[in-house]
Amino acid sequence: MDTLPVVAAVDGSEDSRRALDWALAAARRRGAPLRVAHVRHHSAWSPPGAPVAVPPPPEDDPVLADVRARLAEAGDRPETEYLALDGAPGVLLPELGAQAQLLVLGSRGRGGFTSLLLGSNGLTAARDAECPVVVVPRPGREVDAGFPAGPGPRVVVGLKVDGPDDAALGLAFTEAALRGARLQAVAAYPWPVQTWAAPEELVLPAHDQEAVEHETRVLADGFLAPHRARHPEVRAEALAAPGDAAGLLVAASKGAELLVVGRHRRRLLAPARMLGSVTHAVLMHAASPVAVVPPAPAEE
C-alpha cells in the first residue's frame, strides 16, 4: 500500500465498534486504506496450571468475523485489511502506529474495571505510538457548559503559547479541512497571576488582565499563521481564556467533532515518553473523540 492506512483496534466490545465506525469514516475522508487489527491476549485467561489457550486462526477469528459483517453492511468502503495478532495489547497496539496515519481505539476494551473512564491499553497507545492516536469515548459524557462553541461543525486544538506543538496544529488543520469545519485554538493563561513577595506573603501584582489576554491571543495567532496559509479554506480562531487548560479543553469538547492535543515532549531530565497532565485529563473527561499527536521526530 502506497498510502498509510487508518488502523482500527477492535476486541468485540461496543467501545471498539464505535472506534471502528470512526476509523472507517476517517479512512473515507482521507482516501486511505483501512486496517482492522485484533490483538488476542488468550494466555491471560488461561487458569493457573492449565494449558495456554490456543487462539483460532485469523480467518476464524470471531471478532474479525463480526467486523467483516459490520463493514459489509456499510456499503462503499475503502480497501480493507484484517489483522489478528497474538500477544500483549499494551505492547502490540503502539507498534501498529509505526505504519499508520491514525490509530483509533475505543475508550475501554473488554477487560479491566467497568468504572474506568479509559483503559490502560488506550493510555499506553496514546503515550507510545508513533502516529496520532484517536480515542473515541462512550456517548453521554457530561462536561461543563458555557464554552463559546458557535454554530456548525468544529475541531478544537489545545495551544500552549510558551511551547506550541506544530504537529498537533497540523493535524487539527488537516481534520478541519477534511470535515469542512471551523478550528478553535484554545490558549489558556493563568489568572490571577500570583507572586510571593516574602515568606507566607502572597501578592497579586498589578497586571492588566485584558493586556495579558490580548498578548496571549496575539502569540496564538502568530503560531496559527503558517497553518492558515497552508489551509486558507479553514476558518481558524484563537481563543484566549483564563484558567486551567485541561478544564477549558474538556469544556470545549462538548459538541466538537474532534479535540486535538499534543503529547508531552521528552525532556533532558525526563527522557521517557509521557502524556502530560493536560493530555491525560482530556483523555479521561472529554466528551468528543480525542487525538493525541506525538511530537515530530526532531522535537523528540
DSSP string, 64-114: HHHHHHHHHTT-S---EEEEEEES-HHHHHHHHGGG-SEEEEES--SSS-T
Residue 59 grid cell:
480467518
Axis crossing angle, helix 120-128 with helix 89-96, rounded to the nearest 10: 40
Task: Please report the pLDDT score of residue 188 as a whole number.
Answer: 93
Rounded to 5°, angle at Cα 239 from 233 and 241: 170
CATH number of residue 102's parent domain: 3.40.50.620
Q: Which of 12-26, 140-154, 265-279 has the lowest mean pLDDT?
A: 265-279
The radius of gyration of the chain's CA atoms, rounded to the nearest angstrom, is 21
Grid coordinates in use for 166? 506544530
Q: What are the beta bridge partners of residue 56?
A: none
Domain count, the chain: 2
Is 141 part of a structural domain of the chain?
no
CA 282 – CA 253 distance, rounded (Å): 9
> Is residue 20 scored above 80 in pLDDT?
yes
- Per-residue pLDDT of 40-74, as tens digits, reads 875 544 455 544 455 566 667 899 999 999 999 88
What pLDDT is recorded for position 116? 42
Q: Which residue has the higher pLDDT, 17 or 275?
A: 17
Q: Which of 6-10, 89-93, 105-109 has the highest mean pLDDT?
A: 6-10
The verdict on 130 and 166 lying in the same domain is no
Q: Are residues 16 and 110 in the same domain?
A: yes
Statement to judge: residues 109 and 30 lie in one domain: yes
For residues 163 and 93, membership in a common domain is answered with: no
Shared domain check, 209 and 116: no
In a domain, 299, yes or no: no
Q: What pairs with residue 241 in β-bridges? A: 188
pLDDT at 9: 94
Residues in Cβ contact with 114 at an 8 Å cutoff, skipping those fewer than 6 apart: none
Could you list the residue range(s) of the whole structural domain that residue 71 is in?
6-136
d(CA 34, CA 77) in angstroms, rounded, equals 9
Span 148-164, mean pLDDT?
89
> 54-76 burial, b for 16+ CB within 10 Å, e for fewer?
ebeeeeebebbebbeeebeeeee
Which of 136, 165, 182 is at the close of a domain? 136
Q: Which of 65, 259, 119, 98 is nearest to 175 (CA)?
A: 259
Task: Please report, as a single letter, which amino acid is at residue 180.
Answer: G
CB-count burial class (<10 Å; 0-12, 13-18, 19+) for 193:
middle
Specify whether 168 is located in the same domain as 72. Answer: no
Summarize pLDDT for 84-93 with one digit per residue, the tens.
999 888 889 9
